[in-house]
């Protein structure tokens, strides 16, 4: 018996997750290949499903066509770029054109759409609209973003176009009573920090860029002394100074510092190039750190850029420049909800 489900595009798409970024064709893993098939399974099945809806329900033609057009405007460039990439890197062992016909379109040919109801058609059109807004399994969404010409060139446009998530702390545990929120790209992954003072980490799919929020106690005695001897501006000047950076991160190269406003509060920022030791060898990254004093706590927001293949200062600076607008949007989105309490 042939399977009968208009939601087949979801079933075909839910293969094993775990995608990073557009790889060199020589290093494509089986997992990456499965994720590429996930994307095309979803897209081809979606196209077939919408064709069926238009043919069977003429009154839904306009809605189905509009859903198709909106999805194409959002991710059509991603589908084409991925298709071109796989076609250009085909080989006798990986003939993409043949695989599309034999493994994806052949599977669609086995599907039976004859029992699709009008309500199923309406529900499916809504599903396509939700996908256009980013409501897609994460491993598929990451492929679409990684191959999208705009987002791969200008990462901040992902947030500008509304594809984002929000992290909010509730004041418990490592947040030390601080209720803070921040917006980050939908394609990024968020995870609790492994160290006691790291509240949350955020990382791009290809691991080339990351961000982290930390909350640290200022010892009460120090806080009283600082308040008596120094103004908040003095403290922020110190936290963004070359002396502080070199003391906290031995070997760091101080680049620049300044002041800005985050969540209505004055924040100090500092740029530095930092080399760290790791089991696989020394690792250098370019970072920007924002420091904010809030309710007797030191809240820091740090952005990092660094990846395999990026070695020279010029390469590191170019990589940082690519993400700088995104980092600015994330910093601007940070807010303290407990300021209203």
157-340: CATH topology is Protein Transport Mog1p; Chain A (3.40.1000)
| pLDDT tens digits along 130-158 | 999 999 999 899 999 999 999 999 999 99
Cα(262)–Cα(333) distance, rounded to whole angstroms? 8
pTM of this prediction? 0.83
Q: How many CA atoms lie within 13 A of 224 on its CB side?
A: 2
Cα(210)–Cα(320) distance, rounded to whole angstroms? 11
| pLDDT tens digits along 48-68 | 889 999 999 999 999 999 999
Token representation of residue 272? 């530095």
Percent of the chain at pLDDT exceeding 90: 43
Task: For residue 306, name the pLDDT band (cuts at 50, 70, 90).
Answer: confident
In the chain, list all ranges with CATH 3.40.1000.10: 157-340
Cα(154)–Cα(159) distance, rounded to whole angstroms? 10
């Amino acid at each position: 018996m042939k399977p009968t489900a208009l939601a087949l595009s979801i079933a075909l798409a839910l293969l094993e997750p775990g995608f990073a970024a557009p790889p060199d064709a020589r290093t494509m893993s089986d997992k990456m290949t499965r994720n590429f098939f996930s994307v095309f399974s979803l897209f081809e099945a979606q196209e077939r499903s919408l064709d069926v809806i238009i043919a069977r329900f003429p009154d839904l033609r306009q809605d189905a066509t509009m859903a198709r057009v909106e999805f194409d405007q959002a991710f059509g460039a991603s589908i084409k770029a991925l298709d071109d990439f796989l076609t250009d890197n085909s080989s006798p062992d990986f003939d993409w054109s043949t695989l599309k016909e034999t493994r994806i379109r052949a599977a669609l040919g086995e599907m039976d759409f004859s029992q699709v109801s009008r309500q199923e058609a309406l529900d499916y059109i809504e599903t396509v609209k939700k996908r256009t807004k980013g409501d897609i399994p994460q491993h598929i969404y990451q492929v679409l973003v990684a191959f999208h010409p705009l987002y791969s060139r200008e990462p901040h446009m992902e947030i500008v176009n509304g594809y984002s998530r929000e992290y909010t702390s509730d004041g418990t545990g490592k947040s030390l009573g601080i209720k803070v929120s921040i917006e980050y790209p939908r394609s990024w992954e968020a995870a609790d920090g492994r160290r006691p003072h790291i509240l949350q980490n955020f990382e791009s799919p290809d691991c080339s860029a990351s961000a982290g929020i930390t909350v640290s106690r200022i010892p009460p005695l120090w806080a009283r002394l600082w308040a008596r001897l120094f103004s908040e501006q003095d403290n922020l000047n110190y936290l963004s100074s070359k002396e502080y950076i070199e003391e906290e991160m031995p070997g760091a190269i101080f680049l620049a510092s300044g002041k800005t406003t985050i969540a209505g509060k004055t924040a100090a920022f500092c740029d530095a190039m930092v080399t760290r030791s790791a089991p696989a060898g020394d690792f250098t990254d370019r970072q920007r750190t924002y420091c904010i004093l809030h309710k007797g706590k030191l809240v820091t927001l740090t952005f990092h850029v660094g990846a395999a293949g990026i070695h020279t200062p010029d390469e590191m600076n170019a990589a940082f420049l690519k993400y700088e607008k995104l980092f600015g949007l994330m910093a601007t989105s940070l807010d303290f909800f407990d300021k209203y309490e």
